[in-house]
Amino acid sequence: MLYAMTLAFRQLGHPATLRLVLWVALITLLIFAVLGLLGGWAAQRWILPALTDNAGGWVGALLLILYVLAAFFLFRSLAVAVMGLFTDGIVASVEEEHYPEAAARARHVSFAMGLRLGLASLGRAIGWNLLALPFYIALIITGIGPFVLMWLVNAVLLARDCEAMVAARHPTGPSRPLDSRRRWLLGLSTSALFLIPVANIFAPLFGAALAVHLLHLPPRAAHPEHRS
SS (H, E, C) the chain: CHHHHHHHHHHCCCHHHHHHHHHHHHHHHHHHHHHHHHHHHHHHHHHHHHHHCCCCHHHHHHHHHHHHHHHHHHHHHHHHHHHHCCHHHHHHHHHHHHCHHHHHHCCCCCHHHHHHHHHHHHHHHHHHHHHHHHHHHHHHHHCCHHHHHHHHHHHHHHHHHHHHHHHCCCCCCCCCCCCHHHHHHHHHHHHHHHCCCCHHHCHHHHHHHHHHHHHHCCHHHHCHHHCC
pTM confidence score: 0.78
Confidence (pLDDT) at 62: 60
Condensed to tens digits (0 to 9), the pLDDT of residues 6-41 reads: 888 888 888 888 888 888 888 888 887 887 777 677
Q: What is the pLDDT of residues 183-218, one digit of tens each?
A: 999 999 999 988 887 788 888 889 999 999 999 887
Quote the percentage of the chain above a pLDDT of 90: 17
User: Which of the pair, 45 or 193, is modelled with greater confidence?
Assistant: 193
Alpha-carbon distance 194 to 72, whole Å? 10
- For the cut 90, the answer to whether the pLDDT of residue 44 exceeds it is no
The predicted pLDDT at position 226 comes to 45
Residue type at 141 in one-letter notation? I
Residue 52 binned pLDDT confidence (cut-offs 50, 70, 90): low
pLDDT higher at 13 or 46: 13
Statement: residue 1 has pLDDT above 80:
no
Average pLDDT of the segment spanning 125-151: 86
Given a cut of 60, is residue 167 above it in pLDDT?
Answer: yes
pLDDT given at position 184: 94
Q: Tell how far CA 95 is from the center of its chain.
A: 20
Does residue 66 have a pLDDT over 90?
A: no
Ranges 80-89, 97-106, 197-206, most confident: 97-106
Q: Which residue has the higher pLDDT, 135 or 47?
A: 135
Share of the chain above pLDDT 70, in %: 80
The C-alpha atoms of residue 161 and residue 81 are separated, in whole angstroms, by 9
Angle at 185 between CA 158 and CA 157, to 5 degrees: 15
pLDDT of 69 strictly over 90: no
Q: What is the mean pLDDT of residues 62-69?
A: 63
CB 43, CB 67: distance < 8 Å: yes
Distance between CA atoms of 228 and 164, rounded to whole angstroms? 30
Q: Where residue 82 falls among pLDDT bands split at 50, 70, 90? A: confident
62-101 burial by CB neighbour count: b if 16+ within 10 A, else e?
Answer: ebebebebbebbbbbbbbbbbbbbbbbebbbbbbeebbee
How open is the CA angle 129-130-136, to the nearest 5 degrees?
Answer: 70
Considering only residues 184 and 47, tell me which one the structure prediction assigns the higher pLDDT.
Answer: 184
Q: What is the pLDDT of residue 189?
A: 94
